Amino acid sequence: EAGVAQSPRYKIIEKRQSVAFWCNPISGHATLYWYQQILGQGPKLLIQFQNNGVVDDSQLPKDRFSAERLKGVDSTLKIQPAKLEDSAVYLCASSQQGLNNSPLHFGNGTRLTVT
Amino acid sequence: GQQVMQIPQYQHVQEGEDFTTYCNSSTTLSNIQWYKQRPGGHPVFLIQLVKSGEVKKQKRLTFQFGEAKKNSSLHITATQTTDVGTYFCAGAGGTSYGKLTFGQGTILTVHP
């Protein structure tokens, strides 16, 4: 089974610029997550989709971050404008049902550096 | 909101020694999951615990879920260099689509 695909692997931008990340989940997985992992910390959930609807975006800084999952498959996460504190690895994950019993399958992540 | 804390933050062991990491939640959990992240890699699912007092084993790894479903532990017997990485617990709340909250992880280094 193909894993969760993410691109790009690395991105370096200047503060106030915009950036977008792309994620393709495992085929058939209804739930898609975007996590932010700052160096030395655990992943923090930014947004959770069930098919193409948002289940949880309580920790998404909505003044600068946006995410969409058109057609319930691929997803994009955008930051505009970026701040220095956005430097982190952005992990996409998917699971089969989004219920509490479903393990998360993570992609390799996008490492963002904001200078 | 829900908080999940892990201790210790770091653990250095000699190969062959045992290792334990502990996870505590501020709220009762419906289930807890454990993940391992190798240096430079992404978190990989290890196991899920659902029942109060549950104990599960995977070869040298033993996972426990507390009776009150607010704490958990991971114990590795006779560590090997391949055990190196960061171990995260992640707790799920009570709703069907409960958010999975990760602890800050325990970084394990194993000296040969």
Question: What is d(CA A2, CA A25) in angstroms, rounded to the nearest whole number?
Answer: 9
Shortest CA distance to A78 belongs to which of A17, A27, A29, A30?
A17
Chain B residues with CB-CB distance to A106 below 8 A: 42-44
- Tell me: pLDDT of B94 over 80: no
pLDDT at A96: 86
CB contact under 8 A, B103 and A42: yes
Lowest mean pLDDT across A6-20, A87-101, B90-104? B90-104
Quick one: pLDDT band at residue B53, thresholds 50, 70, 90? very high
Residues 86-105 of A with CB under 8 A from B: 91, 98-101, 103-105
**DSSP sequence for B12-27:** EEETT--EEEEEEESS
**Residue B28: how many other CB atoms lie within 10 Å:** 14
The residue type at B58: Q
Look over chain A and give the mean of its residue pLDDT values, rounded to a whole number: 94
**Contact with chain B for residue A41, Cβ under 8 A:** yes
Helix then strand then coil, % of chain A, to nearest 5: 5, 50, 45
Mean pLDDT of A17-27: 97
Mean pLDDT of B9-22: 97
**CB contact at 8 A, B50 and B60:** no
Quick one: pLDDT band at residue B75, thresholds 50, 70, 90? very high
Question: What is d(CA B7, CA B24) in angstroms, rounded to the nearest whole number?
Answer: 9
**CB contact at 8 A, A30 and A98:** yes
More confident residue, A115 or A97: A115
pLDDT at B98: 64
